[in-house]
Chain A
């Protein structure tokens, strides 16, 4: 209004000057009021605003703290499903590419409890289609606050159809990987098994997980199955089947409590076959803690290996240079040691040559030879051969050998013929393989490897000459000694029996025995070492009541050689090598293995 009066009446300047001044002042006050007074007057409003903002931020902070503290963050369906679904695993193949374990896709039924309207009805309908789902448990699961629960893993196509036709909201399907073992119990102890989430629990399956080749949940992303390379094991499926078949029939025939066997390639340390009975089907794995009879006896069992250990004692004596093959050992009388007397099972009561100690399996001879080397030398040798420490292979299962705490001369005497030291059979297998392969100790492996790789990772434990002597002794034992039941015509077999009395109520019992048999084929240039073990085999009337190793483990090994050698491409031969032991021949031990006196 003032401005209008200013512009509209320029003619009355003088009279209006005072008026203008006044209105200018008024304007200034007004402007002043406009700027200042608002701030002054609205302090309450600002405070209100501040309070509002504070409450909002406090709310956000509280929610953040709550989220951070809560243990079960609400999951989206996708995240929950990704975490729950079984990951893909690489196939396990045998050395020839046969499938030992593979993944197949199956459907699993899941539910989102929050989206299910009538939970009781849903439970009723689902259990009508899937009768093996426990209704009460399912109701509890659906009643939980989780966003994702499994209803049933790995349903059949028919069940999937039926669930689908129920048309329940909040119930869906997810493809999952299911591990299958097409060969059932064959090689189960080596292959191992997985749990419902496809996580390795035992055997090579667990080894794979430990190598973190497969764990899909670690980095939060799942592994593309196409990128998984199959893993080749050292096992040969056909040979494993032959081994299991022979062990099973032998176990029934000799009514043994348990049996085990293994075949190792002595030049590479690869385990070509390994079985332990009773075994299990990895498709339906047992609870090992509840049923300890199904353990892998080759890796986890520890046993007194009996006369098989004499091979180690004699090799030690030969390698130390204290005896040679022509040396003689007094076995005329029993060996008295303190209040103990060492007898021979097949007593000869005469002075024996070293080959005779082996073929007659003389306890006295082996003990005397170990005493020549002495306690410390004996310990050092057994440690070098890996008999005193836990042997770790790829398999997660292993066992600590039972070594006497105070190792006196008496211990050396008994351990020389295989009593008083409990080792896992795979340790003995490793040691004997080293004794016959030229003297290189290599850790047994369940993965495929070449001879060069194995040799690079091995260490020399005995000389080539000692190794050849051991092969010679084993061959002589097959033709003239206790291993004759495994001397299969057509193959140049060498072998050693071992019968250990089992300890029953703290005493050695001669009725209950643990028999082992080790055989090498061919004895002049071994490729495979066979081991068969029977726990508590019974004698058969046609065997004259004997239950020693030759009658059960030895016989089974013989059948095994007859069966396995053609499988690995070795046909029986009419003629044997003319010069099987060249080093020994050059040293003047001109005798042939087949001519060691039998008595």
Chain B
């Protein structure tokens, strides 16, 4: 009886010790991870600031202007390029110019197509 109790007590003691130590080491590990992550964040921050500085350097206006002058054929907007909507000419009535041309050529009149019955130089396929 007593022996069993002793065994249980010792078991509990060892178990709790193992548990405490595992928690302790997990905590140490976690705090190490936090420190590592902090360092990583700081490093990334520094990298971001370097990249931002680099981006600002590459997009500085005088460089962009030189590139635009060389590569793009653009001009500043000038007043004569701006027109009010009211100043636009009204659309002219639609004219079917093709139909008119066909009419002018006289294609709309009766055609003098020979009837199928008349034999021509080429024999009928049928």
Contacts and interface: CB of A to CB of B under 8 A. Distances in A.
Is the A/B pair a real complex?
Answer: yes
Contacts of A333: none
Interface stretch (B27-35, B55-63, B91-99): B55-63
Given A182-B53, A490-B79, A566-B76, 12 more contacts: A99-B53, A102-B56, A104-B49, A104-B50, A105-B46, A105-B50, A180-B53, A186-B62, A237-B61, A490-B78, A571-B77, A572-B78
B45 interface: yes
A194 B56 CA distance: 19
B60 A574 contact: no
A104 B76 contact: no
Interface of B: 45-46, 49-50, 52-54, 56-57, 60-62, 65, 76-79, 82, 84
B61 A238 contact: yes
Nearest to A575: B84
Nearest to A226: B45
Contacts of B82: 490, 571-572, 574
Contacts of B78: 490, 572
A104 B62 contact: no
B85 to A, nearest CB: 11
Nearest to B57: A182
A105 B45 CA distance: 10
* Among A99, A102, A238: residue with most chain B CB under 10 A: A99
Would you list the 5 A-B pairs with minimal beta carbon distance, nearest first? A241-B61, A182-B56, A182-B57, A99-B56, A490-B79
A180 B50 CA distance: 10
A489 B77 CA distance: 12
Contacts of A186: 60-62
Contact of A104 (B53, B60, B77, B84): B53
Contacts of A451: none
B51 to A, nearest CB: 10
Nearest to B58: A182
A134 interface: no
Contacts of B56: 98-99, 102, 182-183
B79 A183 contact: no
A162 interface: no
A80 to B, nearest CB: 23
Contact of A102 (B53, B61, B65, B76): B53
Nearest to A574: B84
A491 to B, nearest CB: 9
Interface in A547-599: 562-563, 566, 571-572, 574
A284 interface: no
Contact of B49 (A103, A238, A245, A566): A103
A143 interface: no
Interface in A87-127: 98-99, 102-105
* Among A238, A562, A566, A572: residue with most chain B CB under 10 A: A572
Contacts, number: 58
B49 A572 contact: no
A225 B57 CA distance: 21
B93 to A, nearest CB: 29
A328 B126 CA distance: 107
A404 interface: no
A241 B62 CA distance: 7
Contacts of B49: 102-105
B30 to A, nearest CB: 22
A44 to B, nearest CB: 60
A102 B62 contact: no
Contacts of B79: 489-490, 572, 574
A571 B79 CA distance: 9
A99 B52 contact: yes
Contacts of A574: 79, 82, 84
Contacts of A52: none
Contacts of A99: 52-53, 56
Contacts of A226: 45
Contacts of B84: 574
Contacts of B62: 184, 186, 241, 245
A106 to B, nearest CB: 10
16 contacts: A99-B56, A104-B46, A105-B46, A105-B49, A105-B50, A182-B53, A182-B56, A182-B57, A182-B60, A183-B61, A225-B45, A226-B45, A238-B61, A490-B78, A572-B78, A572-B79
Nearest to A562: B76
A478 B50 CA distance: 48
Nearest to A237: B61
A99 B45 CA distance: 16
Contacts of A184: 60, 62
A233 to B, nearest CB: 14
Contacts of A490: 78-79, 82
A104 B53 CA distance: 8
B124 to A, nearest CB: 71
B74 to A, nearest CB: 12
Contact of B77 (A105, A225, A572): A572
Nearest to B46: A105
* Among B46, B49, B56: residue with most chain A CB under 10 A: B56
Interface in A519-572: 562-563, 566, 571-572
Contacts of A245: 62, 65
Nearest to A563: B76
A245 B53 CA distance: 22
Nearest to B61: A241
A184 B52 CA distance: 15
Contacts of A242: 61
A571 to B, nearest CB: 7
A437 to B, nearest CB: 27
B32 to A, nearest CB: 21
A572 B77 CA distance: 8
A238 B52 CA distance: 18
A183 B60 contact: yes
A186 B60 CA distance: 9
A245 B68 CA distance: 15
A490 to B, nearest CB: 4
A356 B49 CA distance: 57
A489 B60 CA distance: 30
